[in-house]
């Protein structure tokens, strides 16, 4: 595998992000706390060499299909496509050699913008069609925006996301005291091996009810998986770029507001993070970061109840995510 390259971009006010060509990755984001001190808020590594061992997909852009495909197969256009299983019987995050594991080409790089691109051949990881994907990162004083776009020469399926883990405390503690609010009234319940049942159920009365802000640790003991690993359906079905969630940390005053044009938001509280040395030698572990992953629901190719993730020739897949950084009032 080629060595990753790191690229630093900055905003006029001093916000800073480091992006890696390995997995089109958000490797570092630094924002100011209420005292004006610039600090790290995302899980990652300090060197390209360290980033080659990324056990929990910190910051990478996931594809062709994020999350799980049950039984590692799907039917499209009357044909069954077999995919490599890399989580028990299921296929997850594009497979063992998905786009997040490869070094992307650098299309352009300026002081505040980096664009990566990658080609995925017909049949790669079992998916049909030659797929060309770009990931464009732009940083301004308000935040970091990621635009993922893809085109194909044959009908295929695409459902991409970024897998950044956020810790607004500046790594002084885990994320269980962070507060999270999500504009979602429903979620997609799962059965065996975290494969959705195909239902949409109300979040009311469950630990997934983040319609009002709650500390992540407040109800985490009530979750089924030793922490959150759930897909919530965003209330606004317009698929326009709209606010989806706000994360905040009272200890530093930092806030992160996520905007997206995706259908749903997967939240994952790092339940399975193993002891891992990251930025500045800090040891990451369980609950050390939360991933907020805009996407379509898991197992969508096998669930006619869910929005289709089929992409056809002549169409352009576009998924926009904007992370806005601020301070509590």
Tens of pLDDT, residues 172-195: 999 999 999 999 999 999 998 999
**pLDDT level of residue 6 (50, 70, 90 thresholds):** very high
**Active-site residue flag, 293:** yes
Cβ atoms < 10 Å from Cβ of 221:
9
**% of the chain with per-residue pLDDT over 70:** 99
**pLDDT level of residue 164 (50, 70, 90 thresholds):** very high
Contacting residues for 260 by C-beta, under 8 A, at least 6 apart: 234, 241, 242, 244, 294, 319, 320, 321, 322
**Active-site residue flag, 186:** no
Cβ atoms < 10 Å from Cβ of 309:
22
State residue 192's pLDDT score: 86
Residue 110 CA to residue 138 CA, distance in Å, equals 9
Residue 49 CA to residue 279 CA, distance in Å, equals 13
Residue 131 CA to residue 149 CA, distance in Å, equals 10
Of residues 1 and 325, more confidence is placed in 325
What are the domain boundaries of the chain?
A: 6-327
Lowest mean pLDDT among 51-60, 139-148, 157-166: 51-60
Q: Which of 93, 163, 259, 263 is catalytic?
A: 163
Q: Which of 136, 179, 186, 293 is catalytic?
A: 293
Residue 2 reports pLDDT greater than 80 = no
Residue 302 reports pLDDT greater than 80 = yes
State residue 1's pLDDT score: 53
Residue 154 CA to residue 265 CA, distance in Å, equals 28
Give per-residue pLDDT as tens, 165-174: 999 999 999 9
pTM: 0.97
Q: What is the CATH number of domain 6-327?
A: 2.70.98.10
């Amino acid at each position: 595998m080629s060595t990753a390259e790191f690229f630093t971009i900055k905003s006029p006010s001093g916000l800073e992000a480091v992006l890696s060509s390995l997995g089109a990755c958000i490797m570092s984001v630094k924002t100011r706390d209420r005292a004006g001190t610039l600090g790290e808020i995302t899980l990652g590594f300090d060197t390209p060499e360290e980033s080659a061992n990324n056990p929990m997909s910190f910051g990478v852009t996931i594809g062709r299909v994020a999350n799980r495909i049950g039984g590692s197969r799907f039917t499209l256009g009357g044909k069954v496509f077999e995919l490599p299983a890399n989580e028990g019987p299921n296929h997850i995050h594009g497979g063992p050699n998905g786009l997040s594991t490869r070094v992307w080409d650098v299309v352009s790089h300026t002081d505040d913008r980096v664009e990566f691109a990658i080609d995925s051949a017909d049949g790669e990881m079992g998916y049909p069609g030659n797929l060309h994907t770009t990931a464009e990162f732009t940083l301004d004083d308000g935040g970091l925006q990621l635009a993922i776009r893809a085109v194909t020469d044959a009908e295929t399926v695409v459902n991409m996301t970024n897998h950044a883990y956020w810790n607004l405390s500046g790594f002084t503690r885990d994320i269980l005291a962070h507060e999270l609010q999500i504009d979602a009234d429903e979620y997609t319940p799962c059965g065996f091996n975290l494969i959705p049942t195909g239902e949409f159920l109300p979040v009311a009365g469950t630990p997934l009810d983040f319609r009002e802000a709650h500390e992540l640790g407040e109800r985490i003991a009530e979750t089924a998986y030793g922490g959150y690993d759930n897909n919530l359906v965003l209330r606004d079905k317009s698929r326009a770029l709209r606010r989806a969630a706000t994360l905040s940390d009272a200890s530093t005053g930092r806030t992160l507001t996520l905007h997206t044009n995706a259908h749903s938001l997967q939240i994952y509280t790092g339940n399975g993070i193993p002891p891992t040395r990251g930025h500045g030698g800090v040891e990451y572990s369980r609950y050390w970061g939360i991933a907020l992953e805009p996407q379509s629901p898991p197992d969508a190719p096998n669930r006619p109840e869910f929005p289709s993730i089929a992409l056809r020739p002549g169409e352009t897949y576009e998924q926009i995510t904007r992370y806005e950084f601020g301070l509590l009032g």
